[in-house]
Structures are given as structure tokens and as C-alpha cells.
Chains A and B, each alone.
Chain A
């Protein structure tokens, strides 16, 4: 386990910024961790282990140093991994974190939830509601109508264009969804 270096931090923050925008400071600086025996709440930080990035509280980090490096499987919440070529991808486990701080949201109609959960991209006629002000390639978090986060992806069109689109066009490119817990159990 090691902390992230300069470039890696930049990459992670960029990716997160795409989804949460200004709320990034919520995630990084102001979130308070009530785990651990100390009375003062600590902070959260990012640590890397075997090319995966974890979002973990400092008190937990301290205790995790007691575990041997190759025996340590995971700690805190995994938010993503680095590929061999050095690119950072967010994985589904960071959904809760993103959902709480998302700037751009899309709500799905109940009929199209299953399609999304199978990994298909989102079409216009499946959209129940959409936040105003989305630009192309913004990160979007997908919810069900009862506000359960289902996954996230990239916006294919801005909100303005979305209105004029035909019903079969793709609105959100799929990145990750909670169906992956079942489908890709081994990969996670």
C-alpha cells in the first residue's frame, strides 16, 4: 500500500471531477471519518495497492500498515484501478461515493432499468428525468425513480440536444452498474 504520487493523484481527481464537479472538495477535504477509537473525526485519503485505488480513512490506514504488503487484499472502498498503460478507470464500487456528490443525474423509467443493469447504454425513451445543464462527456450518475443509484456513465448529448433527439438515440454511455456485482463477480 502506498499513497498516490503526483500524476496519479491528478488522474484520479480529474476523473472524479468529471462526475462530482465542485463537490470534489467534499470528498477529499471535508468528509469526516467517525471510524476508529479516536474522539476527533479523521479524514479520508487515497491509497494505492496493486494498481487499485482505495478511498479510506486515515485511522484505518494506520491499522492497515500492520498487515503485510502481499497479504493485504483491500482496504476501505475501492474507487477504481489503473490500467497497464497508466489510465485510471472508475469502477462500480465507488458508486455510493459518486451518487452522494453527483452533479449530473439521470433517472430511469422502471421499464428500462433492467436493460441498463445488463450493461446496455441508455436510450432516450428510457429516461424519466434528467438534470438541466449537462454538457457532452460529462459524468452522469444513473438512478432509478426511487432514487436508488444504479450506475454511472458518460453523457452522449447535452441536455439541450437531448430535447430534440429522436427517442432511439443514446443518451448515456454505460460505464458501470450494480449488475456487475453479479455478472462480473470475478473481475471486481
Chain B
């Protein structure tokens, strides 16, 4: 391709127009044309208006576009012009043409409805085009495609009309042409705008006009091109329209131009946003409109009209449609994380709107809508505003004092030096003030104010959700599409995350709510006021965890003991089911409530130890491990509980008031666990999983061991997750690892019996083949039986028939 860096040469003047009919074509000419049809095609394809357009566009496009344009043009020139309607010509590269005896080249044709191809082509391309890295690149590729199709179209239009169908086709084509023209126009306007926004700003209006078309593709295309243009054009500051007074002032040309530019931009943008918001309601355009809105919100949150943008996005944050919802949620999240772009006001606004949404929907929203709150971040010292001020003042005072003392310490200076020092300090202050005014950092006071506003809105929402969950369900209340308490999980997570920022006043209320929530599953028996909110075990666990987090994070409340929640946890351990409930959550609860607590009531600790040991017997190795790690922690911390490891039932003197262990009692303080003995450890020592059995052995000898060696698993959560992963591909250890006695004793070894004495790695395929053999055998046996029974049945019926025949014969004979 030698035409790479060519200068743009205007084409020569076109020859005078001669209508087609008057041209006389001789036979020779015809032959010549047929023989060299490749070259001659070019002549017939000249279309004056399109050519001029090409020329003008080529002039405007930049270099990269230029060369691609030329490439495409050349390639298209060598295609065959003769085509039937509604066929798509296959690129000669893909399918070689045929040459017939009389020298005609036949290019392969594919019958395809052009409309559909175009539409699908458009729609496939368009989603990819929505996220352009460079608007120009996209526009350019669009241009090229349009061009190619346009040329194809042109060829069709200029065919010699032979059939009547052509009339209809022509009508379609003219409509198509119009569409093409419009798309083409969009691309053109877009590039012009991006090339020089200030002068061409009125083209925006044109684009807007164009996009008011009836055809959906045009509208969608228009929206998207406008989106790309706006994203690049919009400045980094809010536009403030000049007031009356300012408009009357005499200003320079530049300022006038700027003003004009800004006002046009603003009005066009306003119209665009209004259109988007209107289109969001219509289902045909919903996805496109939402996408445009979200991109705008994420890209230009500082600009005007962001309130309407925000309103539209937040409205859809809980839509049923997954794609739309995800879009909106990610837009809002990016808003929260990129606070630098817009300052805190938009965050406040967004949070407020979400809170209102929750309120209006009565807490029946998709959990994603509250999960966006988890990406909020607050300053660490938000809870202590005055202290930092005081620190500042104190620092300043110290500074002054020091200066003063310096002065007084020194020998009495002459006045000049003193005044110089004063001047220096004065100038320093002035410099500081100037710097502050100029620097773009936000005033910390402002920032703090906005953050506290956001925080209060966030907590308002959380409390609303909590209160909604707590109150008893009236008969009229309908279960939303999301289940009864969809927002509870993210709400609790959020409270846990921001626990250190909660004010003391709300703490009591919050605790009460949590207590009610955590305990509700239990109380259905004896409470007459039937709060029928049955929370799952996971939710109740989460309540307990959050309560502890809140307490712990609030430094003033370190020594408060949460008895109720311990009672709840004690009972929740019993209610846990591995498939239905979240084991991770249970492990976290164990860690937070039991392992991290500094002090425990002896009775209570012993109760938990006993119950966890029993629990460890019932479930998979993962849960057992978590429970046993907790037991170990508790035993190490509470020395008195070690009499659970001694063999005196009845507890002796340490048992306290309660002489007998009652396992079914609900309250851990009253169950008398100090009087029990941990027999379960003996059973656990024979567990099939090696880690479980070893930790059980360690625990049972804890009294005798003076050196306490910490094991690898530091927390029940780690133990749980590790063993959970292992569980999926767990293989019974081979006989080598354990003594033969123990192996023989445990007959309850799982299925892989025959492989015990073989190598460590159990061959899955071998098992599979063996199992398949076994099952096919079973299947055959069953089939066999079935067939046999059928055979018996038929045999019986045959016999019956024969007897009947014989009887008939006999009758006939006797008759």
C-alpha cells in the first residue's frame, strides 16, 4: 500500500454531467468493459454526492483514519458490482470467484436479509462501542462500516431494474439510505465536535435533533454518540451561567465566545439528560439509557444536573433486571470510592436518596442496594471532632508560648529584632492563609460536616431496616419479591463495619434491637405477643457477631458483658445444620465471642466447652476442628475449667452451686457444666481425620503438660476453612500412617475399603470403573428379573389360552 502518508489532494474537477441514456456504447466497448470489468466497475460506481462527501470527510479525518479509509476504498473497488437484491457479496478473500467460459467472473453470493444483518451487526457492535477508549476510533470504525455498506447500497441502487420487486426494494433502500445518512451524519458531527469543541458547539444541537428520530436504532446510536462526545467535552468544573448583571457588562471576544460555548453546552446537556431520563421508562431503551446515565454519573459527577442523574440512577438500584441493577450499583460504588472527583456532596446526596428509597419501599429491596454502603469510607477521627480542634489550638498555643518564652529567655533585644520576629510570624500566617485559599484541598471542617451527614443518613437507613425486621408482621403486609428480610444481611454487615463510629446514645437502642432479633427464633413458645419474624440461624449468628463488634469497637464499653448473646450463641450451636447454615459464620462467631474475650464466667465457659465438644462429634471434620480449637482456647484461658478433664463427675468442690450437669437447659450459666466431664474427647481421639484426633489428644493431656505449645491453627475460622477445602478431596490415610490396631478397630471407615492397603493416592479412575461395573451389574440383574417376570406372565397367559382352546374344542366336540 503505497498511499500511506499521502498529502490530501483535492480531486480534479469532474467532467460535465452527461445523462446515462445518451451515452452510446459500442460493441467493442462492451467487450472491453467485460474483459476488464474489474477496472470498469470503478466508473459505474462513481456517485457524485457521495464522492464529494468522501472528499470533505477525508479532509477532516486525521491521518490514521485516512489510511484506513483509503484501504477500504481500494478493497471495495475491486468487488463485483452485479448483484441480486438482498444478497450479500462474500469478500473475495473468503471465497474465490469463478470464471466461466465466456470470461465472466462470478463472485459468490450469500442470500441474507440485509436488514437483519445490519441490525444485528449494529447491535453487536454497539454494546462494545459503549465503552470506547477513544471516541474517535469508534467513530472511525463506524464510518468505515457505514461507508462499505453505503457503497454496497449504491451499487444496488444503480442496477438496471429488471423486476417489479425492485420498486419495493427501492423504497426500502431509500429508507435505509436515509438511515445510513443519519448514522453517517452522527459520525461526522461527532468527529467535528471532538476535533474542535469550542467552535463547533452548535453541532451538538444538530446531533440532538437527529436523535429524535422514530427508528430505535437511530435513537440508540444517537444516545451513544452523544454520550461519547459529552464524556470528552465536559470540563472539569461546574458551569455557572452568567447572571444578568454580568451579561450586561462589556466583555472581550474570548469571554463572549466562552460564554456562548458554555451556555450551548449546558443547554444541550440538559436536553440530553432529560431525554435519557424520559427514555429510561420505556422498556425498549431502558438498558441503553441506564448505561448512559451510569457512565455519566461515574465520569462527570462534578458537573451540573448531577442531581437528576443521581435520582435516575438510584431509582434503578433495586430493579429486578440483573444487568441494570449491577450497572447502577457499580456506578454508585465508583462514586463513593472516587470522592476526589466531586467532593463529598454527591456522596451525601446519593446516600440520602438511597435512604429515601428504602423508606418508600418499606425495606423490600434487593440486598445489592445496601451493599453499596460497604464501599463508603469515613475518616478515622470522625467520632472525635473537638479533640482535633483542641489539639490544633493547643499546638498553636504551645507554639506561641514557646516563642514568647524564647523571647523572654533571651537577653533583652533591641526593638528592631523583636519587631522583625513579629513581622516574620505575621507573614507566615498570611502565607498560610493564602496557601489554604489557593490549594484545592477541602477545608477539613467542611469535609467533616459532610461525612457526618453521610454517616447519619447511613445509620438512619440501618436502623430503619432493623426496626422493620423487629416489628411483628401484620396480616396485611405482603412479602416482597425478595423474601421477608432481604436487607438484613447487608445492614448487619454495614453496622459491623462502621461500628466504631456509632454514638453512645444509639448504642442502647441498637443493643436492644439486636437482642430481640437474635432471640426471636426461640421465643415462639412462650411469648404471647407473637413476633413472627423467624430469622435463620445465619442471621441470628450475624446479629450476635455484630453486637460484639459494636461493643468491642466502642472503647468506653469494654467491660460490659453481653449475657443475652451468649445464651443465644449457646442455643444456636445446637441449631446449626451444615448444609443449610454458614459454617464460616459460626467459626467467626466462636472466635469473636469466645476466643477473643478476656474474661469469662466459669460456669459459662465450662458450658460452652462441654457443648462444643458434643458438637464436634456430630459434624464434618471442618466444624469439629473449629469447635476443638475454641475448646482449646477456652481451656487454656480458664484454668478452673480444667477439672472438666478430670474424672470426677459431680465436680467436687469446683462445681459451684449446681451439682448436676443438665444438658438441655437453655442458659449456659445454669446448666452446671463444671460438674461434667469431657468424655467426648475419648471418642474424638478415634476420629478418622488425623488433625481432629491429634488435637483431641492434646486437649485431653493438657493438664499434665506444663508446656503449652500453640498449634498451627490460630483461630477457629482458619481451621474451618482449611479443613473445608481439604474435605472435598479427602482421602483416607493409608495404613502406613497409623498403627494397625486402630485401623482395625474403626470399622466405620468410609467406602474405599479395598484401597486401604494400596498406595497413598487413590486412583479415581479405578474407583470409577469399579463402581460402574458394580452398578451395571446391578442394573443387569434388575433387567434380568424384570424380563423373567414378563416371560412368566406371558407364559401364563399362553397356558391360559391353550386351556381355553382345549375347552372350546371339547365343547365343540361334545356339541
Contact = CB atoms under 8 A, between A and B. Distances in A.
Interface string B546-560: 000000000011011
Contacts of A100: 656-658, 670
B556 A132 contact: no
A131 B565 CA distance: 11
B563 interface: yes
A128 B599 contact: yes
A26 B660 CA distance: 14
A79 to B, nearest CB: 14
A162 B234 CA distance: 56
Interface residues of A, number: 25
Interface in A104-160: 105, 107, 127-133, 145-147, 159-160
Given A97-B657, A99-B657, A160 B561 contact: no
Given A97-B657, A160-B508, A107 B599 contact: yes
Most buried by A among B560, B602, B640, B659: B560
B511 interface: yes
A59 interface: no
A101 interface: yes
B511 A129 contact: no
A128 B559 contact: yes
Contacts of A99: 657
B507 A160 contact: yes
B410 to A, nearest CB: 44
B562 interface: yes
A129 B656 contact: no
B59 interface: no
A160 B508 CA distance: 6
Interface string A18-38: 000001001000000010000
A49 interface: no
A105 B566 CA distance: 14
Given A99-B657, A159-B560, A163-B557, A132 B602 contact: no
B561 A129 contact: yes
Contacts of A159: 560
B504 A147 contact: no
Most buried by B among A107, A127, A163, A164: A163
Contacts of B562: 132
A99 B601 CA distance: 12
A128 B561 CA distance: 10
B670 A132 contact: no
Contact of A101 (B560, B601, B670): B670
B564 interface: yes
A127 B106 CA distance: 100
B504 A163 contact: yes
A147 B515 CA distance: 25
Most buried by A among B508, B561, B562, B563: B561
B670 A129 contact: no
A97 B556 CA distance: 32
Interface in A58-77: none
B559 A23 contact: no
Interface size class of B (residues with CB under 8 A): 20 to 34
Interface in B227-280: none
A130 B656 contact: no
Nearest to A127: B559
Given A107-B599, A145-B599, A23 B670 contact: yes
Contacts of B561: 105, 107, 129-132
A159 B560 CA distance: 8
Most buried by B among A23, A100, A145: A100
Interface in B6-47: none
A96 to B, nearest CB: 6
Contacts of A129: 559-561, 599
A146 B601 CA distance: 8
Contacts of B563: 103, 131-133
B601 A147 contact: yes
Given A23-B670, A97-B657, A100-B670, A163 B564 contact: no
Contacts of A145: 599
A164 B599 contact: no
Nearest to B560: A132
A7 to B, nearest CB: 28
Nearest to B672: A100
Contacts of B670: 23, 26, 100-101
Contacts of A105: 561, 601
A159 B559 CA distance: 11
Contacts of B667: 23
Nearest to A104: B563
Contacts of A128: 559, 599
Interface in B573-610: 599, 601-603
A130 B559 contact: yes
A43 B116 CA distance: 89
A150 B794 CA distance: 91
Contacts of B640: 146-147
Interface in B508-556: 508, 511, 515, 556
B144 to A, nearest CB: 72
Contacts of B601: 105, 147
A146 B599 CA distance: 9
B414 to A, nearest CB: 53
Contacts of A103: 563
B508 to A, nearest CB: 4
A133 B601 CA distance: 17
A97 B658 CA distance: 10
Contact of A164 (B504, B559, B560, B657): B504
Contacts of B508: 160
B599 to A, nearest CB: 6
A138 B563 CA distance: 16
A146 B627 CA distance: 25
A145 B563 CA distance: 16
A131 B669 CA distance: 13
Contact of B560 (A26, A34, A130, A147): A130
A14 B561 CA distance: 25
B514 to A, nearest CB: 11
11 contacts: A34-B659, A96-B657, A99-B657, A100-B657, A128-B599, A129-B599, A132-B560, A132-B561, A133-B564, A147-B603, A147-B640
8 shortest interchain CB distances as A-B pairs: A100-B657, A160-B508, A147-B602, A129-B559, A132-B562, A131-B561, A129-B561, A131-B563
Given A105-B601, A133-B563, A163-B557, 15 more contacts: A23-B670, A34-B659, A100-B658, A105-B561, A107-B561, A129-B560, A131-B563, A132-B560, A132-B561, A132-B562, A133-B511, A133-B515, A147-B601, A163-B560, A164-B504
